[in-house]
Structure formats: C-alpha cells, structure tokens
Amino acid sequence: MAAVKKLMDLWDSRNSKRVFKKEEDKLAIFKMIEKEVEKITGLKKPVYDYKGDGGATYEANTKRINETIGLFRDYNTGEPIYEFITGKAKANIKQLEKQNKAIREECYKDKTFKKNAKAWNKAYKKVFDKYLKNVYTSYYKQQGGFSHLDDADVKSIRKPKWATKLTLKNVTIDGESVEDLYTELLPGDGWINRDENTSLLNPNYDSSMGVPYIPKKEFYDNKT
C-alpha cells in the first residue's frame, strides 16, 4: 500500500499547481508591494484619471488585459501558451495598452503629478524586483526560435506582456518565505475516488510510460 500511496502522491504533484493568493480581485503580493512603496515614498499610488472617472477606465483596461491573457494560460505552469493566443486577443491587448498609455500621457501634463508618479514607479520597480521577476515563457521562447537562450540573453529583445510570466525570488519576510506567504498549492483532481483499496486501481501498471497510475482498462473500456 505504501507503493500505491507514493504513486498517488506523484500523481498529485504532477497535477497540482502553485498559484498566487488573492485579496479581493488583486494578487496579495501586489498589495504588499504597494504598501511598502507607500512607506518608502510617502506617496499614494498614482491614480490615472480619465475625464474625471477617478482612474476607473485605466484600472478596467488593466484588468481586461490580465483577464484576456489568463484565458490562454497553461493550467499547471501558469504560462500563456503562445500558439493558442488568437490574433484578435493580441489586437485587443495592444489597443488597451495604447489607451492606457494615452491616459498616462494626459495625466503627465500636470507636472506635480508626473513628478510624484515617476517617484512612485521608480520605487515600485525596486520593491518589485526585490520579490518578483518577469521571465519569458518557455512557449514564447520556443516559438520565437531562441529556446536555447536564458532570460539574460534575450532581455534586450522587446516582448509583449503575454510573452512573460511572474516568478517569485527565493527571499523571506520575517523568517517566512515569500512563497509560503503569497502562494498556495491547489491539489490536482485527477482522481475522484482516492481509496487506495479500490478495485479500480491497477497495481501492476507500468509507470515508466510517464503516468503514475491508471484505472484498470476493463472498468472504462467496454469494448474489451
């Protein structure tokens, strides 16, 4: 039975995924970073107001960009899958980014706002880099023909947002790892029945095929 449990645990490890924790509709680690930046700068997060909407349009555009990219993420790795992203989705992302850029430029006409926003963004990047990094996805590197290169080699190549993913750095906060504080493991649901004594499991299955365990064929294939 110990061998069966080991194989079931292996199945879970292959089908589980680690995700960033959320607070309301935002990643918890981003909220922590923003609070740290506020302490450093003494400034509040810039509000990119568009025609008196209090930044609602800018935030909505950012949310739509992230949600669109999210539609094409690999379940286990979280990477946006390059070949699955449609031309329409790419065009929509580009249009939303263009609109947000125009909103920022309009807001920067106020010199005080521009000065404070630049100070905030500079501090934000420093704190962001302390805990996180953007890396190019394996899908994009493969499709782009430079899968043999590491991120340092290709960092000078301009990439769209959907070509990268967030990864945590190996750092701690008050003795606790950032991974434990701001991510959680979602277990796989590959097996509905996890009873190790069930007759559905095939104890003689050869796991060298790359799959740790499967049910007995006669229980799911009525052609035999």
Other residues' Cβ atoms within 10 Å of the Cβ of residue 180: 10
- 80-128 pLDDT, tens per residue? 887 788 889 989 999 999 999 999 999 999 999 999 999 999 999 999 9
pLDDT level of residue 147 (50, 70, 90 thresholds): low
Return the closest-CA partner of residue 87 out of 73, 72, 101, 100.
72
Of the candidates 134, 133, 159, the one whose C-alpha atom is nearest the C-alpha of residue 146 is 159
User: Could you give the CA distance from residue 125 to residue 172 in angstroms, rounded to a whole number?
Assistant: 18
- The percentage of residues in the chain with a pLDDT greater than 70, rounded to a whole number, is 71
Q: How far apart are the first and last CA of the chain?
A: 28
What is the rounded average pLDDT of the residues 182-188? 79
Residues of the chain above pLDDT 90, percent: 43
Cα dihedral 96/99/104/106 (nearest 10): -170
pLDDT one-digit tens code per residue, 196-216 = 555 655 666 665 655 545 555
Kindly report the backbone phi and psi dihedral angles of residue 135, in degrees, each rounded to the nearest multiple of 5, phi listed first: -120, 150
Domains of the chain: which residue ranges?
1-16+189-224, 17-186
Q: pLDDT by residue (tens digit) across 29-67?
A: 999 999 999 999 999 999 999 999 999 999 999 999 988
Q: Phi, psi (5° rounding) for residue 20?
A: -75, 140
Tell me what pLDDT residue 104 has: 96
3-class DSSP string for 15-71: HCEEEECEECCEEHHHHHHHHHHHHHHCCCCCCCCCCCCCCHHHHHHHHHHHHHHHC
Average pLDDT over residues 150-176: 74
Rounded Cα gap, residues 103 and 49, in angstroms: 7
Which pLDDT belongs to residue 149? Answer: 53
Mean pLDDT for all residues in the chain: 80
pLDDT for 191 equals: 45
Asked whether 54 and 111 are in contact (CB, 8 A), the reply is no
The three-class DSSP label of residue 79 is: coil
pTM metric for this prediction: 0.70
